Structure 1
Amino acid sequence: MPKLPALSFLWRWAVMLVCTATVMACAVPEWQKPGTPAAQLLEDMGQPHVRVPLAGGGERWVYSRQPAGQQVYHMQLDAQQRLVHVEQVLQEAHFQKLQPGQDNRQSVFNYFGKPALVEGVGNFKGDIWTYRIRENSIDRMAHVFIDPQGVVQRVMFTDELRSDDDSRP
């Protein structure tokens, strides 16, 4: 029976996709070990969504799973560009640290990365940045109200209602 070149090509392509997915599945921020050099992190994780210089010459790399995911990871590197620690920051406690009137659009972006949604409402002049979070196994949303001057005015939390939730009547 003659070989079909198209099937051979598709088979190789499928194998390559599976291998790539397997390697990418191993590149999980919380599995990275302290002391890992920045070059290895870049190879494993790819470019961070945000890079923030820290005092003392270190850096914070922000990896976000928004808009669909509910995690944003901080990977803190020291001045020698080695990983110090990893922390998942999409939690109410981190949003409650925001200081209305002091924090601004850039500080929110540098800490949490790009929001899942930017929207507005009639009774607030400015943008509302919404982040999808998970607290105690409950899907929630953190809403950061940013006025036209780019200053945080308030933070509010709501439960995320899902249309696929079978627990509702």
Structure 2
Amino acid sequence: MIPVIANGARRLTLALGVAMLSACTTLMPAQEGTRLVGQPQAAVQAAFGPPTDVFPLRDGTSRWIYSKQPLGQYAYGADFDPSGNLTAFRNMLSTPELYKAQVNTWTKRDVAEHFGMTRLPVDYYPLMRREVWSYRFRHEDMWPSLFNFYFDDAGILRQTQITPDPLYDPAERRR
């Protein structure tokens, strides 16, 4: 009876080890993507599947976005050189990336190319004459938040704002 238990424990340990290793790709996509730098687009697609957004950029490069929105807090950007080889892979919805947005300079196109299309409902505030795109993210890798981009009627970014994410507010969940 004891050898049967020991054999079962070994199998369980092996199964858990395999599950944890396969979870690493799912739980740490930025690290996995970084290992693919220099590889062609086909290798990135084989590892992560089809992107949620594809943007040919003005400089001849391209960016694929793997968005976890609307409920997730991450969107990964895969940048490719003109030959189609991966040059960078990172979380685009990190605080430092979001702070790259340039008020009075960026347009809706710039925001979409950098962070992907918003997957949350777009709001419009008629008194302000502003359209708002929101993205869930973890502010400073800690606080569940929304990063809001306010565009004027010409599509120019006029303001940004960080607010707490109501999805993580216990008072909101009870309603």
TM-score by length of 2: 0.70
Call closer, same or farther: CA 1:24–1:39 in 2, change over 3 Å.
Answer: farther
- Confirm or deny: 8 A CA contact 1:67 1:117 kept in the other structure: no
Alignment of 1:132 with 2:147, yes or no, is: no
Partners in 2 of 1:78 and 1:87 — Cα distance?
A: 15
- List runs of 5+ in structure 2 lacking aligned partners: 1-21
**Per-residue deviation at 1:84?**
2.0
Aligned-CA RMSD value: 2.6
After superposition, give the CA deviation of every residue in 1:94-131 in whole Å (9 maximum; x if it has no partner). 22222222211111111111212311235421311111
**Secondary structure of 1:124's partner?**
coil
- Confirm or deny: 8 A CA contact 1:96 1:155 kept in the other structure: no
* Structure ranking higher in helix proportion: 2
Alignment of 1:93 with 2:121, yes or no, is: no
Which residue of the partner structure matches residue 47 of structure 1? 50
Percent identity over the alignment is 24
Amino acid at match of 1:97: K
- List runs of 5+ in structure 1 lacking aligned partners: 1-22
Which residue of the partner structure matches residue 80 of structure 1? 83
Alignment of 1:152 with 2:134, yes or no, is: no
Matches within 5 A, 1:1-169: 26=25, 29-30=29-30, 31-32=32-33, 33=35, 34-54=37-57, 57-115=60-118, 116-136=120-140, 137-161=142-166, 162-164=168-170
